[in-house]
Structure 1
Amino acid sequence: MSDSLTAPPPAPLIVGIGGTIGGTSSTERALRIALDAVEREGFATRMFGGADMARLPLYDPRATSRTEDERAFVTAVRAASGVIIASPGYHGSISGVVKNALDLLEETAKDERAYLADMPVGLIATAYGWQATGSTIAALRSIVHALRGWPTPFAAAINTQLTKFDGEGSANDPAVVEQLCLIGRQVARFAPLAQHGPAR
């Protein structure tokens, strides 16, 4: 078969997880900027925003079946070479919908590559003030370590009192946009190192 008829291999996938229930949020817009940077590096992306997470039932480890939305989420993470998680800071930690989505990754516990093992994971926290951004990033790092993932060296803590996002994929502070793009580039840079198969 000639090269011209050979389909190119699919681009590796980076999954974005984040947002809030009730419309497009600053968290979701920040995540989209990071994912756009990933796409510029040649990766495919799939985003699970607030509306997607709102459709996930409260995780029940004893359930004998999963909804279509639950299966789609787990399937996407299983296929991913990296993940970016964005959460608002609620009462000093991550939001319930983000935590519930991450709890669902228990479905991968018996996979050859369990949870987020060996994957680069970018982290974003948004909050109305600085205090909750720091504690939310710390909580996300702890969760990613527990899920056997590699938090990227840089994480973005965004004070939404100061930073306002627009619907065009940008914000009023160019430094924040660059920080989010850096997260995307770091995940893309480390993704080829992720072992997509049995751990060694």
Structure 2
Amino acid sequence: MAEPVSDQPLVVGIGGTIGGISSTERALRIALDAAGREGFRTRMFGGADMARLPLYDPKATTRTPDETEFVDTIRQASAVIIASPGYHGSISGVVKNALDLLEETARDPHRPYLADMPVGLIATAYGWQATGSTIAALRSIVHALRGWPTPFAAAVNTQLTKFDEDGGASDAAVIEQLSLVGKQVARFVPVAIQHG
């Protein structure tokens, strides 16, 4: 794959779990690759990246290098894709902690939070019930962060769909759905820029 040029817009992926490459991270990678095929640079903050973020302290006067890199990367993004496992009917703590850190952008004059940015959503869970409630929680959070959730969100039941180390999945329809998330954020970026 050719190195992306720096003037390409950036799509940032946030998602995964602590403790190794997860189904959530593999699903997110498929969506990011689809955005890459649309001409975007991509950067993923997976489980290992998020594990290095301390619990968000709104009163802290300094930030760690990992926190600073995360926030600065989001500031450069034209779109975001958030993928979370469904934990007890909602998003995981590690994903929520990363999103809480976006409070650092609250006073940014150019773009606070995820204002006017297309945001793709993915939920993975062992069963259907948690995928729906996790997607609903993600939509609510993105609205609170002033972002635009894309019309389509991918819900992946990992009881039925298995991911492999080569970037594939056992269900071709799931790959299509995850790719659609990536395509939608990429295609909505020009609209967001025009109206932003």
What range is the shorter-chain TM-score in?
over 0.9
Which one of the candidate residues 166, 169, 173 is aligned to 1:175?
173
**Identity among equivalent pairs (%):** 80
Q: Are residue 43 (structure 1) and residue 49 (structure 2) matched?
A: no
Distance 2:121 2:168 in 1: 18
Q: Which runs of 4+ in 1 moved over 4 A?
A: none
Q: For residue 195 of structure 1, report the CA deviation from its aligned partner.
A: 3.7
Partner of 1:163: 161
Aligned length: 191
Partner of 1:5: none
Q: Are residue 124 (structure 1) and residue 134 (structure 2) matched?
A: no
- Give matches, 1:104-123, under 5 Å: 104-112=101-109, 113-123=111-121
Give a deviation string over 1:58-116, Cα, whole Å, max 9, x none.
00000000000000000000000000000000000000000000000000000021000
Residue 31 of structure 1 aligns to a residue in which SS? helix
Which one of the candidate residues 144, 147, 152 is aligned to 1:149?
147
Residue 84 of structure 1 aligns to a residue in which SS? strand
Give a deviation string over 1:99-138, Cα, whole Å, max 9, x none.
0000000000000210000000000000000000000000
Distance 1:85 1:97 in 2: 12
Which one of the candidate residues 92, 97, 101 is aligned to 1:100?
97
Residue 16 of structure 1 aligns to a residue in which SS? strand
Partner of 2:27: 30
Distance 1:187 1:56 in 2: 26
Q: Do the aligned residues in 2 keep the contact of 1:81 with 1:192 (CA within 8 Å)?
A: no
TM-score, structure 1 length as denominator?
0.93
Q: For residue 194 of structure 1, report the CA deviation from its aligned partner.
A: 2.5
* 1:170 counterpart letter in structure 2: G
Q: For residue 9 of structure 1, report the CA deviation from its aligned partner.
A: 5.9
Structure 2 residue runs without a partner (length 5+): none
Distance 1:70 1:21 in 2: 17
* 1:19 counterpart letter in structure 2: G
| CA RMSD of superposed structures (Å) | 1.3
Q: For residue 189 of structure 1, report the CA deviation from its aligned partner.
A: 0.1
TM-score, structure 2 length as denominator?
0.95
Distance 1:146 1:174 in 2: 33
Q: For residue 10 of structure 1, report the CA deviation from its aligned partner.
A: 1.3
Q: Which has the larger radius of gyration?
A: 1
